[in-house]
Amino acid sequence: VENTVPPPTSSPFPMQSLMPPNVLAGARASYAAPNSRARLNCRNAMVTRRPNSGAMTTRAGKTPDGPKVAIAGISGAVGTEFMRVLVERDFPYSEMKMLASARSAGKSVDFDGESYVIEELTEASFDGVDIALFSAGGSISKKFAPLAAKKGCFVVDNSSAFRMDPDVPLVIPEVNPEAMAEYKWKGGTKKGGIIANPNCSTIIALMAVTPIHRAVGVKRMIASTYQAASGAGALAMAELEQQTRDVLNGDPVTMEIFSWQYAFNLFSHNAPMTDNGYNEEEMKMVKETAKIWGTDKVHIAATCIRVPVMRAHAESINLQLENELSEDDARELLRKAPGVSIIDDRKNNKFPTPLDASDQDDVFVGRIRRDISQQGNFGLELFVCGDQIKKGAALNAVQVAELLL
């Protein structure tokens, strides 16, 4: 998940109280329902996709010989998605533990046909736990992930806390599973440890660009992102929904999460700015790509924009290539790539949209075309969409956990 949203500055409109629970529940239900995509028929014949086309899937469900699993941050948007993805992929487990802050402790959540009481996250929470999925924020990860690892637990951390630590693998299973080859629940050389989930924008970009980089080499990548509310969490999603009502009803606009009106607007990503004029979100894409690809020779720049979309990011990507690659060959590389689907119907002007990608496992790629500003076939343009909560966070983490088995 992206950076925690900074406190809002003063607004020209009077503040309203924090969104009531029914609004937040409505946002979660509307945009996280497993079958919410069934009513959309945008893809049809123009989509090339494969079911379960991501990394290796181990299917077993609850089983006595499965690992003991914990979810830290169960009350957040990604924590909720962890549960959905674990069930969808029949991830094997023998015991499940739900962890959150003291504020959420004692509440109940339903998972895989059973009811679980949320426990407060403490230093003792990971006693006997084999695999823990973390999405509770960087400060919580920094405090508890090393403690869990010392107890022999494998932590898959969704925060930015450990991504650039040279001793922590940063993994997209379809891209660089070899980075965590020593990390195995049984039989590996590591007896516990931390594996970092990359930033959502990095995951979505590299799912599309890595097949091309491997085939012909990428010399330079320019990414412009259009990032959904989900990257800032469930409250940001709820605020976008509430602001939309406010604007349409002519009411004062609720601004408690962002410092700007979000509905019917867009703005530079809310991540803190750095001295070089790029914000932290943009620099994550630069630094994480270098680590995942194992090279700092690819020149990368990014511009990250927050747009009023609920849960799927879009990215416009321009590539300068080391060797020539035709449009047709690029499509063929992407068609064969695991976890990638193509929507590239020029005749009917059908290309990926955030709605196409919402609640889907795959990253969708279209607008595949030669960069006419470069000579020959040394330049390529792509438009990419991916579900930020799913492949950009929860699904990638669960796939990493599958590699532990």
- Active site amino acids: 200, 313
Yes or no: say if 245 and 261 are a contact pair by the CB < 8 Å rule.
Answer: no
User: Distance between CA atoms of 161 and 396, rounded to whole angstroms?
Assistant: 17
DSSP characters over 31-92 = HH-TTGGGG--S-GGGEE--TT-SS------B-TTSPEEEEESTTSHHHHHHHHHHHHTT--
3-state secondary structure of 313: strand
User: Tokens representing 405?
Assistant: 């088995």
Torsions phi, psi of 329, nearest 5?
-65, -35
Q: What residues have CB less than 8 Å from 39, skipping those under 6 apart?
A: none
SS3 342: strand
55 Cβ contact partners less than 8 Å away, ≥ 6 residues apart: 173, 174, 177, 338, 339, 399, 402, 403
Residue 379 DSSP code: E
* Rounded Cα distance, 5 and 345, in Å: 37
How many whole angstroms separate alpha carbon 383 and alpha carbon 356? 13
**Comparing C-alpha atoms, which of 153, 11, 6 is closest to residue 70?**
153
296 within 8 A of 290, measured Cβ to Cβ: yes
Contact 131, 104 (CB under 8 A): no
Amino acid at 121: L
